[in-house]
Amino acid sequence: MSSQTARSNLMALPAIAWLGLFMIVPCLIVFAYAFLTRGLYGGVEYTLTSENFARVFDPLYAKIFLTSVRIAGLATLFAILIAYPAAYAICLAPKRMQPILLFFAVLPFWSNYLIRTYAWIVLLNREGLINNLLRWLGYDGEPLSLLYSEGAVIVGLVYNYLPFVILAIYSSLSRLNGDLIEASRDLGAGRVRTFLRVTLPLTMPGVAAGGVFIFVLSIGNFVTPALLGGGRFQMIGNLVYDQFLTANDWPFGAALGMVLIAVMIGLLLLQARASARFSGETAEAKHG
């Protein structure tokens, strides 16, 4: 090892220590808990068992897992459908306007997550802004129950994580070599075919990065489903929360958490591999 790498390793030491102490050690503790037996009033008894993992695949809990996947998946899909055109529009703006537009896209993110989520309660409830607006427009039926639905949870998740997705797709789009688009047009492709055959495939790393980001944060989320789902739509995050704080079943909560982490790590690895494959190519294209 050269002295150069030895020195840069030293510089990473505080970060490594931080991650080790507050991330890896707690994860290992939770991992260990997942194989122990529940204590009567919380905590654990030191008797080894694999029963907790067996319970994760119980149909009751598997269903919650599937609901979580569906909600996170839909949130991811809608976020990408909204973020892609937004990022594209920002890229088309004059160069000096782009940082300003990005700033506005990310602006909501600088306010508190809870406040932003509560704001949706104000908008969506039976006496809320949307129902009032509908009444003002002449709708005189029952007020719509928009809140405490799967839709409300998805709206909340999309809203909260959209800035990340826009940023990820923007960074990929802005690095795309404009000559490639012109080359495609020159070779006889119209705007639509150019987008489908050149722009979209070459910006997939950004779409994947943003998509995995919102999916991973959504599937483990418990605040948004708790507030906007009204407890009626349990997601994995709520289930884990319940096991630790209500049901006093720490080992089962730990097992659920481990499965969730395994899913997330799997997705992140897939995304990292995909973007490594693509980024080599886009870097090459820029330098010709």
Partner 1 sequence: MTEPLSIPVLSVDRVVKHFGKTIAVDGISLDIRENEFFALLGPSGCGKTTLLRMIAGFEVPDSGSIHLGDRDITREAPDKRPLNLMFQSYALFPHMTVWQNLAYGLEMERLPRGEIASRVDDMLKTTDLVALSARKPAELSGGQKQRVALARALIKRPKVLLLDEPLGALDKKLREKMQLELKRLQHEVGITFIIVTHDQEEALVMADRIAVLRDGHILQCGTPQDIYERPANRFVAGFIGMMNFIEGEIGSDALFRAAGQALVCDMHGLKRSAPAVLAVRPEHILLRPEGSGVAGTVVDVAYHGLDRQLYVKTALSQAPLQVRVAAAGPEEAAARTGASVSLGFDAAACRLFQE
Question: Residues in the site for partner 1, rule: CB under 8 A?
Answer: 177, 179-180, 182-190, 193, 197-198, 201-202, 278, 280-282, 284-285, 288
Helices (H) and strands (E) in the chain, counts: 15, 2
Least gap, CB of 90 to partner 1 (angstroms)? 22
Least gap, CB of 182 to partner 1 (angstroms)? 6
By beta-carbon proximity to partner 1, the closer residue of 203 and 218 is 203
By beta-carbon proximity to partner 1, the closer residue of 184 and 238 is 184
- What is the rounded CA–CA span in Å between residue 54 and residue 62? 11
End-to-end CA, the chain: 33
The Cα angle at residue 77 between residues 73 and 82, in degrees rounded to 5: 145
Least gap, CB of 194 to partner 1 (angstroms)? 8
The Cα angle at residue 81 between residues 76 and 87, in degrees rounded to 5: 110
Q: What letter represents residue 252's amino acid?
A: F
By beta-carbon proximity to partner 1, the closer residue of 207 and 256 is 207
Least gap, CB of 173 to partner 1 (angstroms)? 15
By beta-carbon proximity to partner 1, the closer residue of 138 and 188 is 188
By beta-carbon proximity to partner 1, the closer residue of 200 and 269 is 200
- What is the rounded CA–CA span in Å between residue 126 and residue 149? 12
The Cα angle at residue 151 between residues 120 and 130, in degrees rounded to 5: 45
Q: What is the dihedral of CA 221, 226, 227, 232, to 10 degrees?
A: 130
Least gap, CB of 169 to partner 1 (angstroms)? 17
